[in-house]
């Protein structure tokens, strides 16, 4: 599995956005890029693991830390959520656009297609971002799905995953699929009946002990996670194909 390195992206306002960067082992040809958006708790080793797995599949992968510089953890989570609510104009959207631009300009990518994958709160952020961004595909994992279908107008192709035991977000899967069908957007939406929220993530410590007891029935579920990886990478391969240089 490729290792991740810690980098900083300079933003237009002069500040820096910390991020983890994972590069494929084989860089003899131009590669598509993927931006990974973390859960509410921020960039951690588990998100770095996920970024490394995208890199192992051949993508130049960037995982920014959108909580950096927002203060103590409870306050920074609230500020991150508030920024996501200001669709396309909030601070997280400006940071994500800058991260995508930085990734496109990397010599390994050089203008190749870009995809975005988001988890939990980051999944909802990715879904909203994809309605107005110049990206080629989005993979929201167990996101909050907007109630108004018009919010999704203009979205790029979507591959999405939900947990059937997730009592808070699981019902969003069929609703998202129906909306994408009506919008005639290419999509692959699946709900895993035996899985709960956060089934892609491996949380240790207090979070790992608490999440199975919540209404979301969170926790890593290997069968669901591996099938989600299979579907996501297949969908990404189709929409992030890189044309050779002329």
Taking only the tens place, the pLDDT of each residue in 157-194 is 999 999 999 999 999 999 999 999 999 999 999 999 99
User: Which contiguous run of DSSP H or E holds residue 22?
Assistant: strand 16-22
Taking only the tens place, the pLDDT of each residue in 68-82 is 876 666 778 889 999
Domain span holding position 186: 4-239
Q: In this structure, is residue 126 part of a structural domain?
A: yes
Which pLDDT score is estimated for 243?
A: 67
- Residue 25 three-state SS: coil
Number of domains in the chain: 1
Q: In this structure, is residue 142 part of a structural domain?
A: yes
Instruction: Report residue 220's pLDDT band, with 50, 70 and 90 as the boundaries.
Output: very high
Mean pLDDT score, 84-106: 96
Would you state the torsion angle of the CA atoms of residues 122, 128, 132, 133, taken in this order, to the nearest 10 degrees? 10
Mean pLDDT score, 4-10: 95
Q: In this structure, is residue 124 part of a structural domain?
A: yes
Taking only the tens place, the pLDDT of each residue in 120-164 is 999 999 999 999 999 999 999 999 999 888 999 999 999 999 999
Specify the CATH number for the domain of residue 202: 3.40.50.1820
Q: In this structure, is residue 152 part of a structural domain?
A: yes
**How much is the pTM?**
0.95
* Cβ contact 164:194 at 8 Å: yes
Q: In this structure, is residue 246 part of a structural domain?
A: no
Give CA–CA dist 162/165, Å, rounded.
Answer: 9
Q: In this structure, is residue 245 part of a structural domain?
A: no
Q: In this structure, is residue 157 part of a structural domain?
A: yes
Q: In this structure, is residue 244 part of a structural domain?
A: no
Q: Is the pLDDT of residue 246 over 90?
A: no
- Strand ordering across the sheet containing 187-192: 4-10, 16-22, 60-64, 33-37, 114-119, 137-141, 158-163, 187-192
What is the percent of the chain with per-residue pLDDT over 70, rounded to a whole number? 97
Instruction: Report residue 46's pLDDT band, with 50, 70 and 90 as the boundaries.
Output: very high
Instruction: Report residue 238's pLDDT band, with 50, 70 and 90 as the boundaries.
Output: very high
Mean pLDDT score, 219-243: 96
């Amino acid at each position: 599995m490729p290792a991740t390195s810690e980098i900083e992206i300079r933003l237009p306002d002069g500040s820096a956005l910390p991020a983890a960067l994972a590069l494929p082992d084989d860089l003899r040809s131009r590669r598509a890029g993927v931006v990974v958006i973390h859960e509410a708790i921020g960039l951690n080793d588990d998100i770095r693991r996920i970024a490394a797995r995208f890199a192992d599949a051949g993508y130049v992968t960037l995982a920014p830390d959108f909580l950096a510089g927002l203060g103590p953890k409870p306050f920074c989570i609230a500020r991150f959520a508030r920024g996501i609510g200001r669709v396309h104009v909030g601070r997280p959207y400006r940071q994500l656009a800058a991260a995508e631009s930085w990734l496109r300009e990397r010599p390994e990518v050089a203008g190749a297609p870009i995809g975005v994958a988001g988890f939990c709160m980051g999944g909802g952020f990715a879904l909203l971002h994809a309605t107005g961004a110049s990206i080629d595909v989005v993979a929201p994992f167990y996101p909050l799905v907007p109630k108004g279908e018009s919010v999704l107008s203009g979205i790029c192709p979507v591959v999405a995953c939900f947990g059937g035991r997730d009592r808070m977000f699981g019902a969003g899967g069929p609703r998202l699929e129906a909306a994408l069908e009506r919008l005639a957007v290419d999509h692959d939406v699946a709900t895993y009946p035996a899985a709960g929220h956060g089934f892609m993530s491996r949380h240790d410590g207090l979070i790992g002990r608490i999440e199975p007891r919540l209404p979301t029935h969170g926790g890593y579920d290997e069968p669901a996670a591996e099938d989600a990886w299979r579907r996501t990478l297949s969908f990404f391969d189709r929409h992030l194909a890189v044309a050779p240089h002329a």
